[in-house]
Structure 1
C-alpha cells in the first residue's frame, strides 16, 4: 500500500506541478478539461464495458449499492447535524455536506484499488460508482446544492437525466451482454483491456491538475476539522460496520470500504459553482482531504 501511495503521489504532484509551468501555453484547467473529457467520453466507457461484461453481477451488486448509498446518506446526516449545531451559513453548509458525504470513488479510488488489490477490484469501484455514488450525486447531491445554494435560476432536470451519459450507456450494454452470456471476441477484449489500462494514470494526473494550494483560505480552515474528521475517519469506520450488515466479506469488503474511505470528490466543485455554494471552501476540502488521505488510506488498509 505504501508503494502504491508513493506512486500515486508522484503522479499527482506531476499534475499539480503543471500549474507552475503551463507547457505549450495550456493552463492546468484547460489540460484537466481535455484529459477528463477524453477519459469520460472514451476511456472510462471502454473500461466499464470491459469490467461489467465479465463481472459477477447479482446479489453482490446489491450489497455494493446498499453499502455505498447508506454510507453517503450517513455522511449527509452527520455533516448536516454539525453544520446545524455550529450555525453555518447556507453556502458553507451545502459545500461542507457535499465535501463530507461524497467520496472520490473513481478518480482516486480506481487507481489506488487497482494498484493495491489487482485488476479484479475495478469491478468493485465501477459497481459502487454506477450503482451508488453517481446516482446519489445526481439526485441527493443536486437536491442539496439547489436547496442551500443561491442560484435557483436553473430549472430542475429529471432525476433520471443523469443516466444519459457514456459510462451509463456502456454499463447498460455491458449488463445486457453479461446476462445474455455473450462472450467478447478476442480482438475486442484485447482492445478494451488496452483502453482500460489508460484510465488510472490519466485520472490520477487529472486529479493533480485539479488541486490548488492557492485555494486554501484561512477563513475556510474552521470548517475543515469536521470535514476531515468525518470524511477520513468516521465514515470509513461506519462503512466497515455497514459492510458486515450487508454481509460483504473478505477481499470484497476490504476493497469496498477502502473505496468509500477516499477523500472528497472533485465533481462537487462544479455543483458549488453552478448553484452558488462556497466553492473556495469546497476546493480547500478537496485539497486537504486528498493530501491527508495519503496517511488515512494507509491506516485503513492496515485495519482492513
Structure 2
C-alpha cells in the first residue's frame, strides 16, 4: 500500500528541496503565492468538475460534511480546553496557544488528504475529501477559525471575514457541479475529460506547496506538539468513526472519510498565524510533524478501519 504513496512522498520532498535551493532565485513565498493562486482559482475547480460530473454521487456522500462538522467541532473544543488550560497555567503564550488550536482544529483536505485518498482508493474517492473540505472545513475555518485566531492574537475581526468562503471558486464549483449532476443535464464527455486532465495538475502542485513549508525548527517543542498529534489525527479519527457509523456510512466511504479526518494541519494556517500575530513557527512545526505521520500511518488506518 505504501508504494501507492511513493509519488506523494517524492513530490513533498521536491517542495522541501526547492525551498533549500531556490532555482532562479525567486523567493519561496512568491512561488507559493503564485501556485496557490493558480491551484485555488483554476485547477481545483477543474478537478471538482471532473470528479462530480463524471458520475452521480451516492446519496450517502452527502452525509460526509455532517461527519466532518462533528469532527471539527470536537477537535476545536478539545484544543481550546487543552491549550487554554496550558495558557492559564503559564506554560504557553497566547500566540502559541492560538497556533496550537488552529493546528488541531483543521485538517488539510485539499492537500495531503486528497493525494492519499486518490492514491489508496482511486480517483472516484476524491469526492470524499472535496465534500469534507468544501462544506465543512472551509466554511468553519474561514469564520470560526479566523475569529479564534484574531482573539488569541488580540486583534479585532469583522463579520466580513466569514464571507471569504463565498469568494472561493472551489466552493462555487462544488455547488454548480452537484447541481448539474442532480439536474440530469448531459455534459459532453470531452468537456468532462478536459476538466479531469486539467484538475489532475492540482494534486502534485498542492503537495509541492505543502512540502515547501516543511521545517525542522521547533520540533523540540514536544509539550505542544505531542498534544497536537494526539488531538489532530487520533481524536479526529475516533470522533469521525463514531459520527460516521451513527450516520450509517460504511465501506470505502467510511474508510476514506476516516482518512480525511486524520489529515495533517491545513497549510493556509501559516498565513492565518502570520496575519494575526500567532506563533507561525510552532504551527509550521506542527504541520511538518502531522504530515509526516499522516503519510506513514494512513495505510495502517485504512487496514484497521477497512479490515
TM-score normalised by the chain length of structure 2: 0.92
Is 1:244 matched up with 2:248?
A: no
The match for 1:117 is 121
Is 1:160 matched up with 2:168?
A: no
Checking the alignment, whether the CA contact within 8 Å between 1:233 and 1:296 is kept in structure 2 is no
State the 1:173 CA deviation. 2.2
Is 1:188 matched up with 2:191?
A: yes
Counterpart among 78, 94, 98 of residue 102 in structure 2: 98
Query: Aligned partners of 1:158 and 1:282: how far apart in 2?
Result: 21
Query: Aligned partners of 2:55 and 2:80: how far apart in 1?
Result: 36
Is 1:301 matched up with 2:302?
A: yes
State the 1:4 CA deviation. 2.4
SS of residue in 1 equivalent to 2:160: coil
Is 1:150 matched up with 2:154?
A: yes
Change beyond 3 A, Cα 1:146–1:59: farther
Structure 2 matches for 1:40-59, cutoff 5 A?
A: 40-54=40-54, 56=56, 59=59
Runs of 4+ more than 4 Å apart: none
Checking the alignment, whether the CA contact within 8 Å between 2:70 and 2:239 is kept in structure 1 is no
State the 1:264 CA deviation. 0.7
Change beyond 3 A, Cα 1:89–1:301: same
Structure 2 matches for 1:244-283, cutoff 5 A?
A: 244-283=245-284
SS of residue in 2 equivalent to 1:20: helix
Would you say how many aligned residue pairs link Structure 1 and Structure 2?
301
State the 1:117 CA deviation. 0.2
Query: Which runs of 5 or more residues in structure 2 are unaligned?
Result: none
Deviations 1:34-61 (Å, cap 9, x if unpaired)? 2221111111111112223345457424
Counterpart among 206, 210, 217 of residue 213 in structure 2: 210
Query: Aligned partners of 1:55 and 1:263: how far apart in 2?
Result: 29
The match for 1:31 is 31
Checking the alignment, whether the CA contact within 8 Å between 1:64 and 1:132 is kept in structure 2 is no
State the 1:137 CA deviation. 0.6
Is 1:64 matched up with 2:64?
A: yes
State the 1:129 CA deviation. 0.8
Query: Which runs of 5 or more residues in structure 1 are unaligned?
Result: none
Greater Cα offset, 53-62 or 38-47 = 53-62
Checking the alignment, whether the CA contact within 8 Å between 1:96 and 1:282 is kept in structure 2 is yes
Change beyond 3 A, Cα 1:27–1:159: closer
